[in-house]
Structure 1
Amino acid sequence: MSAASSPLDWAGRCTQQAESCAELGSPLYERLLSLLATEVAQTGPTWEVIAPRAELRFGQAGPLRLLGAAHRLALSGAAPSWAQVLPSCGGQVPSTDGELISAWSELVRTQGQELSAGLDCEVQTNEVARSAGLALGLASTAFSSARLVELGCSAGLNLRLDQFCIELASTADSEGVGGSSRLLGDPRSTVRLSPELRTSAPHPLAQLPRITERIGIDPHPLDATTVQGRLQLLGFVWPDQLQRIERCKAAIEIARHVPALLMQSALMQSALMQSALMQSADSASEGETQQVSARPPVALPDTAELLESLLADEQPTVIQQSIVWQYIPPELRWRITAVIEAAGRRATPEAPLAWVRFEPDEWDRKRAAVWLRTWPTGSDFLVAQVDYHGRWIAPQQAISTR
C-alpha cells in the first residue's frame, strides 16, 4: 500500500474536506468528516469501506464520494436510520458527536458494501449557483449569440444558465452612492440567484448572448430527468444545505423543458479506461432518455477529441467549465488547451471563440476565480473572484454594456 492510499492519508483528506465544508457552510459535514478522520486513522470500520478504493487520487474527492453515497442511500429510502439525521430527508442532526458517529456506524454496518461501491461514482454536484459567475463571464464576451459548450457538464444544469434569474446588486455606500442592480437571464425563472456582490462600485453588465445550441461533454453524463440521475445529483448536495437542494430541484425541472445534447467522452484514450467505459455502457440502465447521447459499442473519443470535432464547425462559441480541471489528468488538460488555442487561431470577428473558466484561485485557494479568454484577439482577463458555491461574487472590472 502506498503512502498516498494509507489510512493516515485518507484521514488527512477527511480533515481537509471537513475544513472546506466549514468554509462553505456545512456544519454537519464538518463534524462528520472530523469524526471520520479519527476513525479512519485508527483503521476502524469506515476504513474497511474505503480500503478497496483507497487508490483514488486526492483530486477525485474520495470523502465527498463516500458521503454522497450515504446521502443517496438515505434519499432512496434504503437507509432510513441515516435519513433520520439528515435535514434533506426531514431528519434532525444529532446534538452530540456520539449520537452522530453512532448513526454513521449503523449505516456502515448495514450498508458497507453499497458505500464502498459508491466510491466509484464521480462527484456530480452541478452547483447551480456557480451560474452567476459563469454568466458574468458569458456576458463579458459581448457576443450577440453563441453556441455554449461545457466541459465536465455532468447533467448539464449550468448549460441552462440563461434560463435562471441572476441578480447582481451592489449596495450603496454610507452616503447612498453606488448602489445598483442588474438582472441576467429570465426574470420569471424558478431558479433565482442573488449572490452578495462584493464591489465598491456598480458594474454595468452586457446582456447574455442568445444561446443557439447547448452541448455538454462528460465521461459520465447524467440524465437528470430520470429517477436515478436526479437521485445521484441530489445525493452530492450537502444534506444540511436545504436552499441548495431546492435550487437543484428547480434547475432539474428547467432541464426537462430546455434540451441540451450531452456527449459521453473517455477520460483518456487508454485501453484500461476504454475497457472500463465499455463495461459501464454495457450495464447502463434502460431508463436513459435521448438527452444523453447513445453509447456506441466502440472506443469512445476523449474530451479533447470531441471538442476538436465540435470546434471544426466554426461558429460563435463559448466554452465554459466550473471546478473540473482537478478531475482531468494533466496530459488531457494540456491537449484540451491546445485544441482550444488552435481553434482560437482560426477564430474571426464573425465566428469568435471564448473560454470561461471557473476554477480555484491561484492566489487564494479558499475562493475561485472566473477567467475569460477570447479570440480572435487572444486576450485573457480576470472577470471575477467568486465563492465556490456562488454565495458571493467580486467583479474585477466594470463591463461595458453593448
Structure 2
Amino acid sequence: MSNHIRDDFARQALACELLGSPFNARVCRLLGERLNDTSSFGARVLGWQGHPQNDALPLRAAGGFHALKRQGDDVLIAAYPPNEVDDEALWRALEKAIARHDAFLTRFLDSAPQTNEVSRSSAILGGMLHVAARTGLPLGVYEIGASAGLNLGFDAYGYELGNARWGDAASAVQIVSEWQGTLPPLHAELRVASRKGSDLNPLDASDAALCERLLSYIWPDQTARLARIEAALAATARAGTVIEKADAADWVERAFAGKGESGKARVLMHTIMWQYLPDATQARIEAAMAKAGEGATKDAPLAWLSVEQDEKDKVSASVRLRMWPEGTDEELGRADFHGRWVRWG
C-alpha cells in the first residue's frame, strides 16, 4: 500500500477511536496494514485515483464490510459486535469476505459515505434558537449536503442538553448531548415555516435499499447511534421530506436569488460537508450569500448556520452563525462531530 493511503487508514483508525468506535478503528487499521492488491477491491483501494482523505476512502472500505454483515454474511457476523474476536480472527473474516464478495466490495467504493449524523441536530437546534430569538420570525430552512434530510427535521426531535430538555419527549428520536457552557435561548418561539434540502446524491428515506446503504456507514459497535438514525429515517419517510438532486452552488444561487419573503427569516445550514466542496463551489456559495445579505432587511433577514471542521481544533466542529442585515459573524460554540457533546458560548 502506498504510504499516503496507509497513513489515511491509520488517521481514520485514530479518529474512530476518538469518536468512540474501537471496532471500526480496528477494521481501518487492519485494512491499512494488511490489504494487498491480489483482489479487485484491494487493487482499487491501493491505486485510489483521487485524494483518499477527502474521499473518505477508509470509511468507504469499512462500510462495504458492514453492509455485507448486515446482509447476513455468516463469517462477518461471527467476527462483528456483539461478538468479540482478536485481530487475527477479524482479519481472517475480512479476507474471506474479500474472496467471496470481491465485486460487491469494489463497487461499494463508488460512493462517498453519507451518515447524515442526526445527533448534530443538537448544535443545529442551538443555532436555530438564536436565529428565532433574534428575529422573532418563523424560519425558512435550506440545507445543502442534506443526504436523506434527517437534520432538516430537527425541530420534531426530543433533546436532552445536559440538564435541560427541549422538544418532543415522545419522539422516537431522542438526542442526548453533554452540554457545556451557557444554554441557547430554549424558550424562544421556534417555528419552521418551510424546509428544503439539496444533495449531489440525495437519499430517499422511504427507499429501503438506500437506507440500508446509509446504515452500513454507521460504525458497527455504536448500537445506540444506529438505532437513533434508524428512527430518524422512519420519521423522515413519514414526513415525506424530498431532497433535490443539485450542485450545492447552483442550488444556493437559485434558492437565495432576489429578496426574501417578508415576515420570514431564511436560514442556510450545513453540517460536516464544506470540506468536500471544491474551492470554486465554496467561493460561489460565499458570493451568493453575500449578495443575498445585501438585500436582507429586518423584516426579511438572512442567516447562515454551519457546523464544520476548521483549523482551530481538529477534534471538534465550529458552530458558526452569520446574520444579515446586521452583518454579524460569530462562533456560537464547538461541537463533537457526532453530536455527543456541545461546548457553547
State the Cα distance separating 1:193 from its structure 2 match. 1.1
- Please tell me whether the aligned partners of residues 79 and 89 of structure 2 are also in contact (alpha carbons under 8 angstroms): no
Instruction: Indicate the SS of the match to 1:220.
Output: coil
Cα distance change, pair 372–250 in 1 and its aligned pair in 2 (3 A): same
Q: What's 1:311 paired with? A: 256
Q: What's 1:68 paired with? A: 63
- Please tell me whether the aligned partners of residues 158 and 165 of structure 2 are also in contact (alpha carbons under 8 angstroms): no
Q: What's 2:21 paired with? A: 26
Q: Are residues 1:111 and 2:104 paired?
A: no
1:189-208 Cα distance to aligned partner (Å, 9 max, x none): 11111211122x55543436
CA distance in structure 2 between the aligned counterparts of 1:153 and 1:208, rounded to whole angstroms:
24
1:48-72 Cα distance to aligned partner (Å, 9 max, x none): 2414644344211000011112212
Q: Which of 161, 165, 180 does residue 154 from structure 2 map onto?
A: 161
Q: What's 2:54 paired with? A: 59
CA distance in structure 1 between the aligned counterparts of 2:184 and 2:43, rounded to whole angstroms:
52
- Please tell me whether the aligned partners of residues 371 and 382 of structure 1 are also in contact (alpha carbons under 8 angstroms): yes
TM-score (norm 2): 0.92
Q: What's 1:102 paired with? A: 92
CA distance in structure 2 between the aligned counterparts of 1:93 and 1:212, rounded to whole angstroms:
48
Q: What's 1:193 paired with? A: 175
Q: What's 2:206 paired with? A: 225
- Please tell me whether the aligned partners of residues 135 and 208 of structure 1 are also in contact (alpha carbons under 8 angstroms): no
Q: Are residues 1:81 and 2:75 paired?
A: yes
Cα distance change, pair 112–10 in 1 and its aligned pair in 2 (3 A): same
CA distance in structure 2 between the aligned counterparts of 1:208 and 1:186, rounded to whole angstroms:
14
- Please tell me whether the aligned partners of residues 82 and 104 of structure 1 are also in contact (alpha carbons under 8 angstroms): yes
Q: What's 2:193 paired with? A: 212
Letter in 2 for 1:74: K
* Greater mean deviation of Cα atoms: 42-51 or 204-213: 42-51
CA distance in structure 2 between the aligned counterparts of 1:218 and 1:326, rounded to whole angstroms:
14
Instruction: Indicate the SS of the match to 1:384.
Output: strand
- Please tell me whether the aligned partners of residues 148 and 205 of structure 2 are also in contact (alpha carbons under 8 angstroms): yes
CA distance in structure 1 between the aligned counterparts of 2:249 and 2:43, rounded to whole angstroms:
37
CA distance in structure 2 between the aligned counterparts of 1:66 and 1:109, rounded to whole angstroms:
15
Structure 1: which 5+ runs fail to align? 1-5, 171-180, 266-301, 397-402
Q: How do residues 274-353 of structure 1 correspond to structure 2 at under 5 angstroms?
A: 302-312=247-257, 314-315=260-261, 316-353=265-302
State the number of aligned residues: 337
Q: Are residues 1:151 and 2:154 paired?
A: no
Letter in 2 for 1:354: A
Instruction: Indicate the SS of the match to 2:315.
Output: strand
1:129-180 Cα distance to aligned partner (Å, 9 max, x none): 000011111111124311111110000100000011112235xxxxxxxxxx
State the Cα distance separating 1:257 from its structure 2 match. 2.1
Q: What's 1:378 paired with? A: 327
CA distance in structure 2 between the aligned counterparts of 1:377 and 1:262, rounded to whole angstroms:
30
Cα distance change, pair 212–27 in 1 and its aligned pair in 2 (3 A): same
TM-score (norm 1): 0.80
CA distance in structure 2 between the aligned counterparts of 1:20 and 1:359, rounded to whole angstroms:
16
Q: What's 1:283 paired with? A: none
Q: Which of 235, 239, 245 does residue 220 from structure 2 map onto?
A: 239
* Greater mean deviation of Cα atoms: 254-263 or 332-341: 254-263
Q: Which of 117, 127, 131 does residue 121 from structure 2 map onto?
A: 131
- Give the RMSD, CA atoms, in angstroms: 1.8
Structure 2: which 5+ runs fail to align? none
Q: Which of 231, 241, 246 does residue 260 from structure 1 map onto?
A: 241
Cα distance change, pair 207–92 in 1 and its aligned pair in 2 (3 A): farther
State the Cα distance separating 1:251 from its structure 2 match. 0.3
Cα distance change, pair 219–169 in 1 and its aligned pair in 2 (3 A): same
1:30-63 Cα distance to aligned partner (Å, 9 max, x none): 11211222114x6565632414644344211000
Letter in 2 for 1:104: L
Q: Are residues 1:93 and 2:38 paired?
A: no
Q: Are residues 1:354 and 2:344 paired?
A: no
CA distance in structure 2 between the aligned counterparts of 1:83 and 1:134, rounded to whole angstroms:
36
State, as a whole percentage, how many aligned pairs show the same letter. 33
- Please tell me whether the aligned partners of residues 213 and 260 of structure 1 are also in contact (alpha carbons under 8 angstroms): no
Q: What's 1:13 paired with? A: 8
State the Cα distance separating 1:9 from its structure 2 match. 1.4
State the Cα distance separating 1:367 from its structure 2 match. 1.1
- Please tell me whether the aligned partners of residues 367 and 387 of structure 1 are also in contact (alpha carbons under 8 angstroms): yes
Cα distance change, pair 64–355 in 1 and its aligned pair in 2 (3 A): same
